[in-house]
Amino acid sequence: VLSSSAGECIVEGSDVLIYIDRRRRWVVRVHRGGSTGSDYGVIEHEHVIGKEFGSAIRLKLGRRAFLLPPLLIDYLERGFKRRTQVIYPKDIGLIVVLLGIGPGSRVLEAGIGSGFATAVIANIVRPNGKVYAYEVRPEFAEVAMENLRRVGLDKYVEVKIKDVKEVEEQNLDAALLDMPNPWEALDAVHRALKPGAPVVFFLPTVNQVIKMVEALRNHGGFVDVRCFETMMREYQVVPEAVRPESFMVGHTGYILFARKVLYERESC
């Protein structure tokens, strides 16, 4: 679903990134009779179906709309439903590197929220890995699974409508907790992870970071505690005026990393 092969044609029901320029781009599922509006003219899906991915159609006012196969980032930015705060690409990129995951990894996640982080992780752990996603609000889980189904990644995710404190899996390779009170779930995360495995807590406020760092120290079963903040500045790439964009995202959250160790009494 997340790639196209050479010469692949757009059919009824295909997802297409209709791209005019940086601001005018939409991920749409094309169907006969459907249309997408723009200030350069309406794009009738009728004219899109049958075209090759990568080709363009000419709009009424002369501009071209390119028909591209959507990447996962296009869904994150323009395609997925959003019902909660979500983890942004700039943060999830670092998070997945810190978690050290790859194809086959088994990952704990809480909560699933709108499924944005889940989609990126599922895309990395497939085809043999799995995300075990705990979520207390069924209505959020439903939206997240709808988003995951749209990109064909739902089969790599097992969603559980449960508090993560009740985690059932063991020997997991990594964990990501993006929820308001993760310090309450520290015992559960420790129980679920393999010895040495990493966990990332995504925390919107400094207050939560302080509370979490204290909880990790009091717990005693985690080491290598590190905290990061990412800032991403996009550039305007007009050839005669390459410069940073005027506005950027000021704050999302802090990335707090730690690794599970065995308690003294558990060592062999």
Ligand X SMILES: C[S@@+](CC[C@H](N)C(=O)[O-])C[C@H]1O[C@@H](n2cnc3c(N)ncnc32)[C@H](O)[C@@H]1O
Asked if residue 125 lies in contact with residue 190, where contact means CB atoms within 8 angstroms, the answer is no
Instruction: In angstroms, give the least distance from the CB of 93 to ligand X.
Output: 13
User: Which of the stretches 36-44, 133-141, 190-198, 243-251 binds ligand X when contact is defined by CB under 6 A?
Assistant: 133-141
User: Are 256 and 215 in contact, with CB atoms under 8 Å apart?
Assistant: no
Query: Which residues, 6 or more positions from 89, have their beta carbon under 8 angstroms from its beta carbon?
Result: 73, 76, 77, 120
Tokens of 10: 């757009």
Task: Candidates 19-27, 113-121, 211-219, 223-231: pick the segment binding ligand X (CB under 6 A).
Answer: 113-121
196-225 positions binding ligand X, by CB under 6 A: none
> Among 69, 79, 115, 221, which residue interacts with ligand X (rule: CB under 6 A)?
115
- Chosen residue from 117, 124, 151, 192 binding ligand X by CB under 6 A: 117
Query: Would you call 258 exposed, middle or buried from its count of C-beta atoms within 10 A (0-12, 13-18, 19+)?
Result: buried
Q: Are strands 198-203 and 174-177 parallel, antiparallel or unpaired?
A: parallel
Q: Residue 111 interacts with ligand X (CB under 6 A)? A: yes
Whose Cβ is closer to ligand X: residue 10's or residue 87's? 87
Tell me if 154 contacts ligand X by CB under 6 A.
no
Q: How far is the CB of 160 from ligand X (least distance, A)?
A: 9
Q: Among residues 142, 146, 163, 169, which is the contact residue for ligand X, using CB under 6 A?
A: 163
x-marked contacts with ligand X along 164-193 as a string, rule CB under 6 A: x-------------xxx-------------
Judged by beta carbon, residue 43 or residue 145, the one nearer ligand X is 145
Stretch 35-74: interaction string toward ligand X, x if CB under 6 A: ----------------------------------------
Q: Which residues, including other chains, have CB under 8 Å from residue 15's CB and lie 6 or more apart?
A: 1, 27, 28, 29, 30, 69, 70, 79, 150
Please, what is the Cα angle at 94 between 225 and 113, to 5 degrees? 90
- Of 70-99, binders to ligand X (CB under 6 A) are 84-87
Pairing of strands 174-177, 106-110: parallel
Where does the chain show beta strands of DSSP type E?
15-19, 25-29, 35-36, 43-44, 56-58, 64-68, 106-110, 130-135, 157-161, 174-177, 198-203, 222-228, 235-238, 241-244, 254-260
261 binds ligand X (CB under 6 A): no
Alpha-carbon gap, residue 79 to 74, rounded angstroms: 6
Binding residue (CB under 6 A) for ligand X from 38, 105, 114, 208: 114
Comparing CB distances to ligand X, the nearer of 32 and 162 is 162
The smaller minimum CB distance to ligand X, of residues 19 and 132, is found at: 132
The residues that touch ligand X, with contacts defined as CB under 6 A, are 84-87, 110-111, 113-117, 134-137, 140, 163-164, 178-180
